[in-house]
Copies of this chain bind each other. A is one copy, B any other.
Amino acid sequence: MSLMGRRIDYFDDPAAPAANSVKPSAAAFVLCDGAVLLTRRTDNGNWTMPGGAHDPGESLSRTAVRETLEETGVTVRLTGVAGIYTDPRHLVHYTSNDEVRQEFTVVYRAEYVSGQAATSSETTEVEWVPADAVADLTMDRSQRLRVEWALTQQGIWIDPTGD
């Protein structure tokens, strides 16, 4: 039995627990020389873009830059937005405190400024992954869709509203 909390992603799953929280997060899609800056999460082993929860007192764009530096050692500059992901069918269960958070993430586009990719306490691996190798990584389905969107689309993903 692990003492460490787990993170479990649900998508449109009748077995998902009910949401009890909404907390804005930011992530960074960092593309440099045809490679994407990705990390491997300590909590569930999946590859993901760097990012994390918004702290009151900072802008959400600062969240993206701060989390990227903390998780990868790389300083980035934001250049735009790849998508806003707020689908209420997407829930994340944090087992450490039984928080069931409705997904709410802005994915910013960013460019490399400085620093060398290095692991942190939240990540077991940090890599610049060539775009054509992303498909081979173990990723949560929703995360894979976001990276693929950012790699192939110029526009911003916004959630459908059912109209």
Copies of this chain held together in the complex: 2
Contact residues, A58-75 vs B (CB, 8 A): 58-62, 64-65, 75
Task: Pick out which of these stretches binds chain B: A41-49, A84-92, A123-131, A134-142.
Answer: A84-92
Set B80, B104, B108, B113: member contacting A163, Cβ < 8 A: B113
Set B61, B75, B159: member contacting A86, Cβ < 8 A: B61
**Sample of 30 A–B contacts (CB below 8 Å):** A19-B56, A19-B57, A22-B54, A24-B24, A54-B86, A56-B102, A57-B88, A59-B86, A59-B87, A59-B88, A59-B161, A60-B86, A60-B104, A60-B159, A61-B86, A61-B158, A61-B160, A62-B161, A62-B162, A65-B163, A77-B161, A80-B158, A81-B81, A81-B84, A81-B156, A81-B158, A84-B84, A84-B106, A106-B106, A108-B158
Instruction: Show the binding face of A for B, using Cβ within 8 Å.
Output: 19, 22, 24, 54, 56-62, 64-65, 75, 77-78, 80-81, 84, 86-88, 102, 104, 106, 108, 113, 155-156, 158-163
